[in-house]
Amino acid sequence: MNITKIFYATWAVLFALFAYWQFNDPDPEVWVSTYVVAIIFCLLGFRGIFPKIPLAVLVVVCLVGAVYFWPESVSDWIVQELEQKNLSMKTPQMEEARETFGLMIIALVMLPGLIKAWKK
């Protein structure tokens, strides 16, 4: 198995876990759907299929969403996360910060596939 297949298989599993953890979210339909789309693109990447336009749209939408949800103070959010003993959401700002980083992760994971698609 080559590195591209391992990369996308690993991220498909991780995104499936992320989707599962979103079921108790205040708006699970948005975030479960978001991670399911990421899983689909990971499975396509696993098969060596990199659709240029859909990947570009996904990356741009995720980056725009991340900017929209960007926490006012990243350092305060990180301190809050490190100080708590569990992963429960304590404030709406923590939830938005987590959503921001989830979107950034999706964009970063999809970027290599987009670059591959663009080079073809």
Q: Is the pLDDT of residue 110 over 70?
A: yes
Q: What is the pLDDT of residue 67?
A: 86
Give the residue, 82 or 86, on which the prediction is more confident: 82
Q: Is the pLDDT of residue 91 over 90?
A: no
Task: State the pTM of this model.
Answer: 0.85
Mean pLDDT value across residues 90-114: 86
What's the CA gap between 41 and 35, in Å, rounded? 10
Cβ-Cβ contacts under 8 Å for 99 (sequence gap 6 or more)? 31, 65, 69
What's the CA gap between 71 and 67, in Å, rounded? 9
Share of the chain above pLDDT 70, in %: 82
Give the residue, 1 or 21, on which the prediction is more confident: 21
Q: What is the pLDDT of residue 86?
A: 60
Cβ-Cβ contacts under 8 Å for 63 (sequence gap 6 or more)? 103, 104, 107
Q: Whats the size of the chain, residue-wise?
A: 120
Mean pLDDT value across residues 68-78: 69
Q: Is the pLDDT of residue 44 over 90?
A: yes
